[in-house]
Amino acid sequence: MDKPGTALLVMGCPEVPTQTSVVLYLANKLNKAGIDVTVAGTDAALKLTKVADPEGFYIKKLADVDETIAEMAEKKADFDLVFAFMHSDAGVVYAATIAALSQAKVFALVFGKNAEALAGTIEFPAEKVVAKATHNPTPLKNKLDKALQQQVIA
Amino acid sequence: MSCIEQMKYDLLLERISFKEAREYIEKNSDEVYYVNPGYKIFKDYYVIGVPPVAIGAKGEDLIFTYVKPCHGTFVMKIKSPEEIERLREKEKKKVMESLKKGGKSDDAAESPAASYQDLWKK
């Protein structure tokens, strides 16, 4: 694969605190690698990132997740990398949808109390990054760092 | 917000897993069609789902899944002979194309997958 130029970070329901923290961390890391980052999510998930990053220092582009899927379905948008965050069945369903619509290399970031069991339900092609992280983002961050190193992104 | 939430709908199941929703549609519809994620129904709803996504028809009602990130999967029905007809036409077209190609279709987007795993293998 050529050096990736674009990445989509797909946030799931923001009820697990780990997500927003790791999204900001990952966006920063990808920015530093020269990758154009778009973060998509629900209204609440987007507001959490906006408040945490009011100047848009880490996240330059925000998008509604359903509108992003519509754009991808109409073949008006695609990305080189997709990082899909999930801690519930609905998160897996959204990630499967995006994986089916995209040519991107997909990373499935699975976290929360039932991370291992949930990861077992993923059948679409994706590199799984799994950590039983709910309040403490470090286990997910560490596993993500390893996955990124293998991709020579960071 | 999709146009669906402003339409007259009935909720058949709420806050379930996608797998349960698919099984319900398969068991409780007169006709079942399979589409890929991103298939557009009504004005602006692009179907969210794990492929193959089942959409059912029962009488004049379209039975389909609706997924919300924080609330899980819902099964809804909306009266829509137009959408049902569109699915039937799509299916007919698919069969005709398949016959023309000697029973083989190489269009992953249009072919119903025999199973979930088959779809990803294509």
Identity of the residue in A91, A92, A100 whose CB atom sits nearest the CB atom of B51: A100
Query: Which residue from A3, A21, A50, A42 is spatially nearest to A109, judged by alpha carbons?
Result: A21
Strands (E), chain B: 10-16, 31-35, 40-41, 45-46, 53-58, 61-68, 72-79
Per CB-CB distance under 8 Å, the chain B contacts of A89 are 17-18, 72-73
A116 lies in a domain?
A: yes
pLDDT digits (tens, 9 = 90+) for A75-131: 999 999 999 999 999 999 999 999 999 999 999 999 999 999 999 999 999 999 999
Residue contact A73–B72, C-beta within 8 A: no
CATH of the domain at A99: 3.40.50.10160
When the pLDDT of each residue in chain A is averaged and rounded to a whole number, the result is 95
Residue contact A12–B69, C-beta within 8 A: yes
A1 lies in a domain?
A: no
Instruction: Quote the minimal CA–CA distance from B96 to chain A in Å.
Output: 25
ipTM: 0.91
In chain B, domain spans: 3-114
* B81 vs A: CB within 8 A: no
Q: Which domain holds residue A100?
A: 6-150
* B15 vs A: CB within 8 A: no
Number of domains composing chain A: 1
pLDDT digits (tens, 9 = 90+) for B45-85: 999 999 999 999 999 999 999 999 999 999 999 999 999 99
